[in-house]
């Protein structure tokens, strides 16, 4: 049997502690399946005295993770600290520069510096694995990097943030407000004390940018994503969607078009009978549409200590199974130097159409005015209706419109025109409608 693979783990939070525990509990099975033992010989974390439910008394403790990356007697540096800059970035770069394999769950780091880190890993002939960075325990990175080789991917989309999916599910199931569901998510540990990164869509955008690069062979473009979170979704939107046969999900969508690549993150209405509509709670789902395989949908836990640790462990096992001289899988699916410059797609018609909710004064001619403004912008309406639960005379009324395929800029122009009429109350709600192939 080959010599043991020596691991250094930076970050002993929920995921790091779970990983160390699993490596200890499964050490015999892993040695057999990988052909060599896997041993944690060094760790780094902020608080040495904290009880994490694991025994690290026999391993070398480093106060500074960068120092561990530079000097510890290890083969693999595992980064589980998080953050796009600072210690995480410095430590990963130091480990790769030294010729160590690296495993990370840090999507923010990869979204910011992934191409440069990939180039460094390839220069040094080492692996940079990051399955846990996107969709937790779902093996979507391996699928795109390896399993779908030879396929031309046309579209990747999915539910990539468990916090948002939990909130939207609870709003629908229990009829609660966004604010109430967010508080419950924070109480259960699904949302941070400052939840902005999740609920405003940034977390999903980082993950989507990585999947876009793997799917289309372009450089990572995390700052070139249309971004909209779920903070403006109301219980009225949830109810209206249900009446129309839809559920609301926060989706990340990337697709190849004739003019470039389109990346977007936003609340989306999906048909109730589609598979992705059934994905509830903190569960994640990622769909990949390709020319040979068709559509592949992967569903599973998107966060949590064990789910994320499982993905990290899979990356470590891949390294343990590799042998000197073996051809390395390119970090981002193709060599970093061969990645194409990202080219943003021109605005095009959205095939699924749009849901538009307007609160208007109860006055004669409003329906006709709205229909006229839509027609002036060449927007074809599938339906226009007054919400059945708000028909009290003299009170502001809710009007729901569903469009056929149209361009977003046309929708925005039509809404601006409606605003100028003076009968609109409050801000309009505009939500894209997606119609997956499984619908």
Active site residues: 207
Helices (H), 11-54: 14-25, 27-34
**How far is it, in rounded angstroms, from Cα 203 to Cα 196?**
9
Residue 20 tokens read as: 């160390």
Residues 6+ apart with CB under 8 A from 242: 172, 272
Buried/exposed code over 123-149 (b: 16+ C-beta within 10 A; e: otherwise)? ebebbbbbbbbbbbbbbbbbbbbeebe
Q: Across the strands, what pairs with 76?
A: 7, 101
CB of 206 closer than 8 Å to CB of 108: yes
* Secondary structure of 151-180 in HEC code, one letter for each residue: CCEEEEEEECCHHHHHHHHHHHHHCCCHHH
* Three-class DSSP category at 337: helix
CA atoms within 13 A on the CB side of 44: 24
**How far is it, in rounded angstroms, from Cα 195 to Cα 162?**
12
Nearest to 71 by CA among 45, 39, 94: 94
Nearest to 129 by CA among 163, 105, 160: 105
Q: Which DSSP category does 308 fall into?
A: H
For β-strands 260-271 and 226-227, DSSP reports them as parallel
CA distances for 411 relative to 164, 192, 246, 353, 385, angstroms: 26, 34, 20, 10, 17
**How far is it, in rounded angstroms, from Cα 180 to Cα 358?**
24
Residue 303 tokens read as: 């966060």
**Element (H or E) spanning 142, and its range?**
helix 140-142
DSSP secondary structure, 176-196, as one string: --HHHHHHHHHHTTSS-SS-H
């Amino acid at each position: 049997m080959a010599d043991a693979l020596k691991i250094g783990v930076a970050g002993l939070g929920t995921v790091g502690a779970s990983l160390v525990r699993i490596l200890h509990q499964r050490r015999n099975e892993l040695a057999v399946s990988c052909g060599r033992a896997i041993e944690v010989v060094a760790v780094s974390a902020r608080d040495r005295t904290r009880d994490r439910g694991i025994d690290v008394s026999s391993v070398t403790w480093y106060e500074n993770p960068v120092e561990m990356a530079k000097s510890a007697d290890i083969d693999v540096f595992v980064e589980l600290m998080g953050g796009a800059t600072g210690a995480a970035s410095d430590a990963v770069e130091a480990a790769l520069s030294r010729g160590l394999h690296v495993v990370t769950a840090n999507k923010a780091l990869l979204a910011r510096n992934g191409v440069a880190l990939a180039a460094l890993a390839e220069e040094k002939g080492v692996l940079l694995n990051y399955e846990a960075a996107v969709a937790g325990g779902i093996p979507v990175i391996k699928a795109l990097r390896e399993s779908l080789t030879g396929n031309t991917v046309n579209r990747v989309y999915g539910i990539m943030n468990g916090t948002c999916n939990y909130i939207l599910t609870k709003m629908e199931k229990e009829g609660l407000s966004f604010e109430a569901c967010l508080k419950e998510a924070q109480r259960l540990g699904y949302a941070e004390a400052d939840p902005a990164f999740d609920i405003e869509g940034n977390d999903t955008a980082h993950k989507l940018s990585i999947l876009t690069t793997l799917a289309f062979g372009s450089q990572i473009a995390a700052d070139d994503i249309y971004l909209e979170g779920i903070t403006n979704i109301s219980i009225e939107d949830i109810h209206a969607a249900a009446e129309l046969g839809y559920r609301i999900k926060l989706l990340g969508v990337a697709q190849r078009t004739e003019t470039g690549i389109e990346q977007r993150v936003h609340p989306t209405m999906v048909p109730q009978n589609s598979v992705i509509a059934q994905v509830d709670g903190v569960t994640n789902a990622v769909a990949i549409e390709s020319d040979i395989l068709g559509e592949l949908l992967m569903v599973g836990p998107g966060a949590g200590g064990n789910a994320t640790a499982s993905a990290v462990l899979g990356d470590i096992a891949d390294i343990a199974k590799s042998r000197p001289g073996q051809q390395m899988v390119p970090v981002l699916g193709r060599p970093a130097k061969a990645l194409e410059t990202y080219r943003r797609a021109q605005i095009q018609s959205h095939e699924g159409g749009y849901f538009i909710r307007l609160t208007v004064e109860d006055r004669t001619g409003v329906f006709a005015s709205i229909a006229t403004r839509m027609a002036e912008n060449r927007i074809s309406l599938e339906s226009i209706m007054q919400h059945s639960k708000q028909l009290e005379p003299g009170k502001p009324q809710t009007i729901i419109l569903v469009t056929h395929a149209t361009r977003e800029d046309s929708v925005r122009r039509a809404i601006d025109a409606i605003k100028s009429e003076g009968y609109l109350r409050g801000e309009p709600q505009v939500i894209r409608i997606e119609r997956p192939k499984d619908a």
